[in-house]
Structure 1
């Protein structure tokens, strides 16, 4: 069994449990972030930033 999250008792307070991400969990987080970034790039590819006088100082997204 491969653990992604590790749980153990707090040495100062036995009522508390401490949770930590294992090395495998950190690897999966990195892969997940890379996939998310790639999908975001694909999704936002059709959009562009436009700054007109009417919306000066505001970020406006216009479908090109």
Structure 2
């Protein structure tokens, strides 16, 4: 993932030969983006739990619809 991010950034600047310092800085920023603070993690967990509930409801509805369609 780090290599892909650095290659995309080098394309946008138009300089394929980058200084190693610049690459390390871009990797650092990418690592900082990947690190999520704990309060955001709890929000993300709540979102995934809600989406899982919605998915389970949709599955149960589709299963209950099938016998009525066959009849």
TM-score (norm 1): 0.48
Q: Which has the higher contact order (CA 8 A, sep 6+)?
A: 2
Give 1 or 2: higher strand fraction: 1
Give 1 or 2: higher helix fraction: 2
TM-score (norm 2): 0.45
